Amino acid sequence: MSDPQVAILMLGLFIGVVLLGFPIAFTLIAMGLGFGYYAYYDAERMKSIFDNRIFELFVQNTFSVMSNEVLVAVPLFLFMGYVVERANIVDRLFFSIQMAARNVPGSMAVAALATCAVFATATGIIGAVVTLMGLLALPAMLKAGYDRRFASGVICAGGTLGILIPPSIMLIVYAAIAQVSPVRLYAAALLPGIMLASMYMIYVVSRAFLNPSLAPKPPAEDVPPTGKIIWMLITSFLPLAVLILSVLGAILAGIATPAEAAGVGSFGGLLLAVLYRALTWQRLKEAVFLTARTSAMVCWLFVGSWTFASVFSYLGGHALIEEWVLAMELTPVMFLILAQTLIFLLGWPLEWTEIIIIFVPIFLPMLDTFGVDPLFFGILVALNLQTSFLTPPMAMAAYYLKGVAPPDVQLMDIFRGIMPFLAIVILSMVLLYLFPQIALGPPKFFFG
């Protein structure tokens, strides 16, 4: 076999092994070391079995990840999210927004989406948002007479907004891989995130207006006085909004780097937990443990992916795929459609981490050839990756929700409820294709 054929075998074998359920990070490392040993094998210079350049490459990649300043923001944003998650802020936030929007059709669904958007902004952790809202909002919506499919779709779609809305962990990972400014990437994601959340809410209100039986209004006796609702909003929504706006504002204003803003956000999350009297030693330990575990997973994914990608490129895999794409003589729009279609299809069996770290770098070297801005491409990918959580049969958001949903909510109910929101994501991608300034305008406005 030629080296490019070995590279394609390496890629196919990786996908097969991951689908069997093996840990992704260590599969990447094992594949990288195994195929790299073959790629860098030199019988003349070998003095021992370990005298192979792949081990030097592995050590260098590990050091590069440890010294990458962009990735410092990952554990800090994760810690902020886990602290906020455990501070019992979300239940107050959901109830207060629900009461404030009581006269809007589908008020509980609107409140769930708004809470998901705010909570996703504070955490960026998809599983945590879907699971917590599944425990908090779904039973309340079902008790109020909401359609099971409609309510399930709202929770799943709202929970995935954390991929796109800053401070998204996925955007930090993409910035490190694509070597673009995470600050400009956050600015580029701002309007698309607001656009997608708004489209979700417009759909929910329209469906509830046209078919009130899907989302009954709350009884008048369950609505507290206006003064109490205002106080609830002040004590639940305002503190969290100030924290989020402070973090994002400091980043977009150029006052702080993402890592510095994440450090301030972590402190702010702790302060909120203290003010809400929700900070206990046990909760703090859980937040630290979960932060360390998730951060270690992300860092080892980087080490494995960079080793895997280096070997794949050395064997000629990247060059082979690039030649294949360029031979099609595609226009920039056709290239974008091809890339996003492949990412959409990969979202069925794979999670966003594998797609961003393994497959997106295959397209990055071709962006200059087709004149595509890497910021614009990154936002398209972020929108597209919403579908990896919402597309059956491997819609992870549906499985997160099913794990905490009441027994009468079947998986097929969740799948059917997700489909309209999946169509909205695709529509938002079309709008971004047609009006790229939605993503490219804010970075120019803030940074020139």
Query: pLDDT digit of tens for each residue in the chain (448 aa)?
Result: 778 888 888 888 887 887 777 777 888 888 888 888 888 887 666 677 777 788 888 888 888 888 777 778 788 888 887 887 777 777 778 888 888 887 888 888 898 888 888 877 766 667 677 887 888 888 888 888 899 999 999 998 988 887 888 877 788 888 888 888 888 898 899 899 889 999 999 999 999 999 988 888 877 666 677 777 788 778 777 887 788 788 878 877 778 888 888 888 888 888 888 888 888 888 888 888 988 888 888 788 888 888 888 888 888 887 888 888 888 888 888 888 888 888 888 777 676 777 887 788 888 888 888 888 999 999 999 888 888 778 777 777 888 888 888 888 888 889 999 999 999 999 999 999 899 999 999 998 887 7
* Preceding peptide of 393 cis, ω within 30°: yes
Exposed/middle/buried for residue 85 (C-beta within 10 Å: 0-12, 13-18, 19+): buried
Domain boundaries, the chain: 3-447
Q: Specify whether the CB–CB gap between 402 and 414 falls below 8 A.
A: yes
How far apart CA 288 and CA 309 sit, in angstroms, is: 31
Give the DSSP letter of residue 114. H
How far apart CA 209 and CA 103 sit, in angstroms, is: 11
Residue 125: its pLDDT value, please? 65
Q: Specify whether the CB–CB gap between 299 and 65 falls below 8 A.
A: yes
Q: Specify whether the CB–CB gap between 8 and 40 falls below 8 A.
A: no
What is the helix (H) or strand (E) element at residue 20, kind and residue range?
none
How far apart CA 321 and CA 332 sit, in angstroms, is: 17
Give the DSSP letter of residue 15. H
Give me the torsion for CA of 193, 194, 195, 198, rounded to 10°.
130
Q: Chain-centre distance of CA 244, in angstroms?
A: 17
How far apart CA 312 and CA 361 sit, in angstroms, is: 11
Residue 344: closest CA among 425, 400, 437: 425
Q: Chain-centre distance of CA 406, in angstroms?
A: 26
Residue 32: closest CA among 293, 292, 300, 296: 300
How far apart CA 441 and CA 191 sit, in angstroms, is: 9
Residue 108: closest CA among 47, 161, 155, 70: 155
Sign of the dihedral defined by the CA atoms of residues 372, 376, 382, 387, in that order: negative
Q: Specify whether the CB–CB gap between 400 and 131 falls below 8 A.
A: yes
Residue 221: its pLDDT value, please? 60
Exposed/middle/buried for residue 356 (C-beta within 10 Å: 0-12, 13-18, 19+): buried
pTM of the predicted structure, to 2 decimals: 0.81
Residue 123: its pLDDT value, please? 62
* Whole-number Cα distances in Å, 26 to 176, 262, 311, 376: 20, 28, 15, 31
272 Cβ contact partners less than 8 Å away, ≥ 6 residues apart? 83, 84, 87, 89, 239, 240, 243
Q: Where are the alpha helices (DSSP H) in 315-436?
A: 317-327, 332-346, 352-354, 360-363, 367-370, 374-390, 396-404, 411-434
